[in-house]
Amino acid sequence: TGQSAPLTGGTEMAIRTVTIIGAGAGGCATAAVLGRKGIKVRLYDISESRIDLLSRTGGLYVIEESGDEFVPISLATTDLAEALEGTDLIQVMTSAAGQRGVARALAPHLRDGHRVLICSGASGSLEFARMWREMGVAADVLLGETVTLPQSARLREDARLIIRLPARLRTAAFPGERTAELCDLVSELYDIIPVRDVLDTGLNNPNFLIHPVPMVLNYTAVERSDGLFSLMNEGMTRGTLRAFDAFDCERMALAARLGLPVLSVDEIYTEFGSSPAVYREPGEPMGIKDRIHDRYLDDDIPFGSMLLASLGDQIGVDTPVVDATNALACIITGKDYWGAARTCEKLGLAGMSVQRIVEFVQKGS
């Protein structure tokens, strides 16, 4: 399963205040979940309209069968310095495409002892660390990431949330030798699985497995329906699943080459608390039919499947299905995803052998 030995030691200071960067559905859902635990939550976003809504409501409404529950938020702000003051944990909850902007914005505020958790990371910890080095950040920051969001959610315009699927989270630090320290800290908040390093969290992100191939193969249907499409229900035909599984085999070959636990996408879905039935059986248990499919390509191609392709080129693993998916995604959308892609060069891994990559993500030097 990739689980490590039991953690030893512990952190002396419990987490009482969490700063969440990104007030989208994932960030707001995490704010509500932590608020229910009695954590003082600060929400930061660059969107003035979203922060204004949260400031006016004073919190979030969680929609449940038993009725709405109001969860207060201690602070919603567009002032990053205000959001970070005295915080115990910084959680980055933006899309992968927004992470570079967050890394740049955080750099001048970082101090010794800060803890930064990227959810979901997509090996972004490596890119954060590279950017901070280049920007001259000298602070001792505990940096790491989770494999996916702590829970899935949909956020309505009236600050009402539908929260689903609290997840078990594969979690690692960069460098990997600090993973136990990070997991000791965040285990009081989430159900986590400590793993070797942030290559594990990057290669096992379920969204980056479930979206690219089905989105490319169903792009015509998405266009015809103006995006109102159920990818898990209407999109998962037998042929799509065959291509999807071939894509996954290439990802598993990358994991094997890097000495990581080899998990199929079905095992990953089961591990984090869902089920392969979501995409392998007719119907859709979650009942999701909406217009968020641009993100399924704009995030999951450059930060998911293109990361796999770049790693394959670097370490000598052929990825023809992944490569075809990337090429078709650029053609059908008319977008240059490679321009923004998370590659080995952007992660600071260019030119490294497999052995050197493994050493680097463990030691950080």
pLDDT tens for each residue of 141-167: 999 999 999 987 778 777 788 887 678
The mean of the pLDDT values for the chain is: 90
Residue 287 reports pLDDT greater than 50: yes
Q: Are the C-beta atoms of 190 and 119 separated by less than 8 Å?
A: no
Quickly state the pLDDT bin for 229 (edges 50, 70, 90): confident
SS3 143: strand
Least confident of 59-63, 115-119, 243-247, 299-303: 59-63
Strand ranges (E), 129-246: 142-146, 152-155, 160-164, 169-174, 192-194
Residue 2 reports pLDDT greater than 70: no
The pLDDT score that the predictor gives to residue 341 is: 98
Burial class (CB in 10 A: 0-12, 13-18, 19+), 226: exposed
Cα 107 from chain centre: 20
Q: Are the C-beta atoms of 144 and 122 separated by less than 8 Å?
A: no
Strand pairing partners for 313?
none
pLDDT tens for each residue of 243-264: 999 999 999 999 999 999 999 9
Of the candidates 188, 97, 164, 112, the one whose C-alpha atom is nearest the C-alpha of residue 143 is 112
Residue 289 reports pLDDT greater than 50: yes
For residue 93, give every residue at least 6 positions away whose Cβ sits within 8 Å of its Cβ, in sequence order, or none.
20, 21, 22, 24, 26, 27, 30, 119, 149
Quickly state the pLDDT bin for 1 (edges 50, 70, 90): very low
Of the candidates 288, 326, 289, 335, the one whose C-alpha atom is nearest the C-alpha of residue 307 is 326
Measured CA to CA, the distance from residue 149 to residue 342 in angstroms comes to: 19
Measured CA to CA, the distance from residue 280 to residue 255 in angstroms comes to: 23
Sign, CA dihedral 222-227-228-229, equals positive
Of the candidates 137, 121, 142, 192, the one whose C-alpha atom is nearest the C-alpha of residue 13 is 142
Measured CA to CA, the distance from residue 365 to residue 129 in angstroms comes to: 11
pLDDT tens for each residue of 316-360: 999 999 999 999 999 999 999 999 999 999 999 999 999 999 999
The pLDDT score that the predictor gives to residue 11 is: 40
Residue 13 reports pLDDT greater than 80: no
Measured CA to CA, the distance from residue 145 to residue 167 in angstroms comes to: 14
Measured CA to CA, the distance from residue 301 to residue 243 in angstroms comes to: 16
The pLDDT score that the predictor gives to residue 72 is: 92
Query: What percent of the chain clears pLDDT 70, i.e. is strictly above it?
Result: 93
Quickly state the pLDDT bin for 365 (edges 50, 70, 90): confident
Measured CA to CA, the distance from residue 257 to residue 354 in angstroms comes to: 8
Q: Are the C-beta atoms of 193 and 3 separated by less than 8 Å?
A: yes
Long-range contacts (CB closer than 8 Å, 24 or more residues apart) made by 193-197: 193/1, 193/2, 193/3, 193/168, 193/169, 193/271, 194/3, 194/4, 194/7, 195/2, 195/3, 195/4, 195/170, 195/171, 195/261, 196/2, 196/4, 196/172, 196/260, 196/362, 197/172, 197/358, 197/361, 197/362
